[in-house]
Amino acid sequence: AAGVIQSPRHLIKEKRETATLKCYPIPRHDTVYWYQQGPGQDPQFLISFYEKMQSDKGSIPDRFSAQQFSDYHSELNMSSLELGDSALYFCASSPRRSLAGAIYEQYFGPGTRLTVT
């Protein structure tokens, strides 16, 4: 079965540089989520998009921005990178509502490991 695709899988940047992470959701999934997982920590929600509109926002720094495109893929843009931005960045997607109306599981991509030096 198709899974969430993230690219690149690994990224090394220097302080103050910019980075762009890409996410391709599972086909027919229209909602995308971004999470940041620091070393030894649980994932923290950054932002989500539904039908190309921002639907929820978490602890995303102002230096970061994201968007979802017409083909439902999403990009997370990170500027003025800091050492503390080193983390595993997950993208997840979820399908349209079930017949019962509820939204179920979020399927995670393999993550992009960002290292800022």
Partner 1 sequence: AQKITQTQPGMFVQEKEAVTLDCTYDTSDPSYGLFWYKQPSSGEMIFLIYQGSYDQQNATEGRYSLNFQKARKSANLVISASQLGDSAMYFCAMREGIYNQGGKLIFGQGTELSVKP
36: three-class secondary structure by DSSP: strand
Query: From the list 21, 23, 24, 33, which residue makes contact with partner 1 (rule: CB under 8 A)?
Result: 33
Asked whether the CA dihedral 60, 95, 70, 112 is positive or negative, the reply is positive
- Write the binding mask 68 to 87 for partner 1: x where contact by CB under 8 A, - elsewhere: --------------------
Interface with partner 1 includes 111 (CB under 8 A)?
A: yes
Neighbours of 51 (CB within 10 A): 10
Find the radius of gyration of the CA atoms of the chain.
14
Interface with partner 1 includes 64 (CB under 8 A)?
A: no
Q: What does the binding site for partner 1 look like in residue numbers (CB under 8 A)?
A: 30-31, 33, 35, 42-45, 48-51, 55-56, 58, 88, 90, 92, 97, 101-111, 113
